[in-house]
Amino acid sequence: MQLKKIAGVLAGMSLLAVGASAAELSNAQIYSKYCKKCHGANGEGNPAKKGPALNDKDINELFDALMNLKEKGFEASKHEAMTHNMEVLERKKGIHVDPQSMAKYLFYSFNPEAK
Amino acid sequence: MDKKMMKQSQEVIEELLKREGMSRRDALKLMGLGGAATMMGAAPSSARAATEAMASSDKKAKIVIVGGGAGGIMAAARMRKAAPNAEIVLIAPNDIHLYQPGQVFMAAGLYTEDDIRKPNADLMPEGVKWIKDEVKTFDPDNNSVETANNGKVGYDFLIVATGLQYDYERIKGMSRDLVGQKGIASVYLNDPVKGTAKGGVATWEWFKQIRAAAEKRDPGNPLQIICTQPSTPIKCGGAPQKILYLCDDMLRGNSPLGGKDIHDNAHLTFTKKGKKLFGIKSYNQTLLKLTVDYGNIEDAFGYDLVEIDPDKKMATYDYHYLEKGEWDEDLEEFEVIPMVKKVKMKYDFIHIVPPMKGVDAVANSPIGWQKGTAKGWMAADRYTLQHIKYKNVFGIGDILGIPLGKTGGSARHHGPILQENLVAVMEGKEPTAKFDGYTVCPLKTEYGKIMLAEFNYDGPAPSFPLDPSQPRWIWWAFDLYMLKPMYWNLMMRGLM
Ligand SMILES: Cc1cc2nc3c(=O)[nH]c(=O)nc-3n(C[C@H](O)[C@H](O)[C@H](O)COP(=O)(O)OP(=O)(O)OC[C@H]3O[C@@H](n4cnc5c(N)ncnc54)[C@H](O)[C@@H]3O)c2cc1C
């Protein structure tokens, strides 16, 4: 009985821990853990995974693309594969990508034209 | 404001108090009007003070505004006050100004075409020079625009307010002439230059024809009605669904046509390429539940209308779906391969929302995005509304190539941002005011009810302390009776 209870508490704690760490991941952490393999260490793209380059896009374009692939407005996603990837990341890993801050991170980290 | 309007507004307030159990003061506050003075078409005193306190510049400069719709007129009114020493020129071809949101109430049989028309001359602020012409090309490298009949017009500062254009022709077999014929309607259709709103007229006729046809059917052999939404960005993203729900409610006997509830004699299909009715979860859930409650509406997701045969009454779709690919170790799931196949659907009546795009003059010039998801729309910064390359160029309204915000309500929020930032640039400073993506969609869920869906880049953004995902009668009353006079008297004068 006692053991069962402790196990329950432990399970609860680990659940909490997963939730908390997912919520606290910075965009840099999200990128290197969940985006890099398909989009390249410097956003240069990865043909092997069909991931397009992100480092040649203006911050406004990145924001528009991220909003579009999450179908935040009324128009359909133009990136159906990526929309699916994002859903999987949300569902399985508890990752929530914020289009505004992620666009900023991608642009200032990778685009050579960023000041 | 005429007597009829006054009376209607008063009724709205009274009913509001009764239904929502509020004090009169709260009710007025709720509507953001601040007092009975507003009912007379004057600005609430607080709003007026705020406008006066707003940024201004006494610099001498030439400001050219292209477009004379909601955004262009608001920009002209605001800049006329904010830049008293500037020469302001507005280039637009249209004699008539259309209150476009009213086209949906035309379709519902509640407004006439005359209700939504006003001469543009009445709205043009004093001291603004109006060139009745169209811009053919933008030449931002030389600070000038080329007009159809008045040659080149130079500027120091440019405001792009051209709105968007419909692309009916992208659907094979479709043209705007078919609207109003062979069971085809399209509430959007209008001609800003001629000042006509054929879409509103034709859709109300379509409602009547549908009712007559449904009376001869039965639930075993229902009338097939399709309402479409294109895959492109569209203005007022909720309008395709407004027609869907209003049409069904009309069949339940709740329109001005009255009659018995015969909605089971019809089957309605809502087709769109996207996978959601609304991009925001709480609003999406309300709508999904609504379609279930209607009982005869089917949502067909993944369907993008590409061809129509008006004589055979056959619609052809690109149906987009995902096929399972290889196992992806990183995602711990199978990768997906986007697939498309053609699917045909037979209909008796169809409401077509055209694909939309930036106007040619913008799309074919350096003013437009040359690549990316927003290609062809104005290349503007999502916050400052300034052109990403040409710092003396700003945009307002539907033409902006930014996510969200293609509504009149958004243009109203662009107004003060544009004013502040353009003044800053005139004064040699950096623009710092930020547009937050505000978009408002008064989604008509039935005759007499609206879900007032307000949202911005961050998510839901309700202006009122009421659950925004709940359809309410007060928003319907507000929209039907009060928004139009507010549009003409406050928004178009830059007071709101
Ligand atoms: C059916 C329908 C329902 C709607 N419902 C709502 C609603 O409920 N709530 C809401 O907030 N909004 C609604 N809207 C959207 C709203 O009407 C628009 O968002 C708003 O009018 C945008 O203003 P704008 O100035 O960008 O474009 P417009 O008002 O369309 O004006 C553009 C102007 O530019 C001119 N122009 C175009 N090209 C050129 C050129 N090359 N040179 C010179 N002039 C040019 C045109 O003649 C026109 O006058 C609705 C629209 C429709 C059609």
Answer whether residue B108 shows pLDDT above 50.
yes
Site of tokens 């089957």: B267
Q: Are A64 and B280 an interchain contact pair (Cβ–Cβ within 8 Å)?
A: no
Ligand 1 center from residue B430 Cα (angstroms):
29
Question: Contact B374/A64, CB-based, under 8 Å?
Answer: yes
Give the least confident one: B38-42, B144-148, B316-320, B457-461: B38-42
Q: Output the CA torsion sign for B141, B145, B150, B154.
A: negative
Taking residues B105-125, report their average pLDDT: 95
Catalytic-labelled residue, pool B345, B441, B450, B486 = B441
Q: What is the mean pLDDT of residues B328-332?
A: 81
Could you tell me the two tokens for B304? 């993008």
Find, in chain B, the residue whose alpha carbon is nearest to that of A70.
Answer: B279
Contacts of B275 in chain A (CB under 8 A): 71, 76-77, 83
Is A92's CB within 8 Å of B304's CB?
Answer: no
CATH level 2 (architecture), domain A26-114: Orthogonal Bundle (1.10)
Q: pLDDT tens for residues B275-311?
A: 899 988 899 999 999 999 999 999 999 999 999 999 9
Check CB contact under 8 Å for A88 and B331: yes
The pLDDT of B130-149, averaged and rounded, is: 97
**B466 pLDDT higher than 90:** no
Query: Across the interface, do A84 and B336 touch by the CB < 8 Å criterion?
Result: yes
CA distance B419 to B352: 37
The domain spans of chain A are: 26-114
Give the residue-averaged pLDDT of A65-82. 84
Q: What confidence tier does B330 reach under pLDDT thresholds 50, 70, 90?
A: confident
| B439: closest chain A residue by CA | A73
Q: Is B236 a catalytic residue?
A: yes
Q: The whole model's pTM is what? A: 0.89
User: How much is the pLDDT for B71?
Assistant: 96
When pLDDT is averaged across residues B94-105 and rounded to a whole number, the result is 96
pLDDT at B15 over 90: no
**B interface test, pick of A55, A62, A71, A75 with most B CB neighbours within 10 Å:** A75
pLDDT at residue B44 greater than cutoff 80: no
Q: Is pLDDT of A63 > 80?
A: yes
Q: Region B109-138: what's the mean pLDDT? A: 96
In sign, the C-alpha dihedral spanning B338, B341, B347, B353 is positive
Q: Which of A58, A71, A81 sits opposite B338 (nearest CB)?
A: A81
Q: Cα distance from B337 to chain A (closest Cα, Å)? A: 7
How many beta-carbon pairs under 8 angstroms link A with B?
97
Query: pLDDT tens, B52-62?
Result: 457 899 999 99
Q: Flag the least confident range among B32-36, B340-344, B491-495.
A: B32-36
Using the beta-carbon criterion (under 8 Å), do B280 and A72 form an inter-chain contact? yes
Label residue B373 by pLDDT band (50, 70, 90).
confident
* Residue B72 alpha carbon, nearest atom of ligand 1: 25
Query: Which chain A positions have a beta carbon within 8 Å of B304's beta carbon?
Result: 76
C-alpha of residue B163 to centroid of ligand 1, in Å: 5
Q: Which of B162, B245, B385, B439 has most ligand 1 atoms within 8 Å of CB, for mutation?
A: B162
| Residues flanking ligand 1, CB < 6 Å | B 66-72, 91-94, 100-101, 103-104, 134-135, 161-163, 187-188, 192-193, 235-236, 239, 359, 361, 397-399, 406-409, 411, 440, 442
**Pick the residue with more confidence: B449 or B27?**
B449
What type of residue sits at position A98? Answer: D
User: CA–CA separation, B238 vs B452, rounded Å?
Assistant: 11
**CA angle, residues B387, B144, B136, in degrees to nearest 5:** 90
* pLDDT (0 to 100) of residue B336: 87
Q: Are the Cβ atoms of A64 and B401 closer than 8 angstroms?
A: yes
Instruction: Give the gap in angstroms from C-alpha B159 to the nearest C-alpha of chain A.
Output: 19
Catalytic residue status for B227:
no
Which chain A residues are closer than 8 Å to B271 by Cβ? none
Contact B317, B228 (CB under 8 A): no
The predicted-structure confidence for B171-195, as pLDDT tens digits, reads as follows 999 999 999 999 999 999 999 889 9
Q: What is the mean pLDDT of chain B?
A: 90
Question: In this complex, is the C-beta atom of B86 within 8 Å of any C-beta atom belonging to chain A?
Answer: no
Sheet-wide strand order for B393-395: B128-131, B87-91, B62-66, B157-160, B393-395
Of A65, A77, A81, Cβ closest to residue B274: A77
Average pLDDT rounded to a whole number, residues A20-47: 86
ipTM, 2 decimals?
0.81
Residue with the larger pLDDT of the pair B269 and A12: B269
Write the secondary structure of chain B as one string of H (helix), E (strand) and C (coil): CCHHHHHHHHHHHHHHHHHHCCCHHHHHHHCCCCCHHHHHCCCCHHHHHHHHHCCCCCCCCEEEEECCCHHHHHHHHHHHHHCCCCEEEEECCCCEEECCCHHHHHHCCCCCHHHHEEEHHHHCCCCEEEECCCEEEEEHHHCEEEECCCCEEECCEEEECCCEEECHHHCECCCHHHCCCCCEECCCCCECCCCECHHHHHHHHHHHHHHHHHHCCECCECEEEEEECCCCCCCCCCHHHHHHHHHHHHHCCCCCCCCCCCHHHEEEEEEECCCCCCCCHHHHHHHHHHHHHHCCEEEEECEEEEEEECCCCEEEEEEEEEEEEEEECCCCEEEEEEEEEEEEEECCEEECCCCEEECHHHHCCCCECCCCCCCCCECECCCCCEECCCCCEEECCCCECCCCCCCHHHHHHHHHHHHHHHHHHHCCCCCCCCCCCCEEEEEEEECCEEEEEEEECCEECCCCCCCCCCCEHHHHHHHHHHHHHHHHHCHHHCCC
Pairwise CA distance, residues A86 & A69, whole Å:
8
Q: Phi/psi of residue B97, each to 5°?
A: -110, 130
| pLDDT tier, A17 (very low <50, low <70, confident <90, very high otherwise) | very low
The alpha carbon of B30 is separated from its chain's Cα centroid by a whole number of angstroms, namely 23
**Domains in chain B: ranges and CATH:** 3-166+357-491 (3.50.50.60), 168-356 (3.50.50.60)
In whole angstroms, what is the distance from residue B175 CA to residue B351 CA? Answer: 13
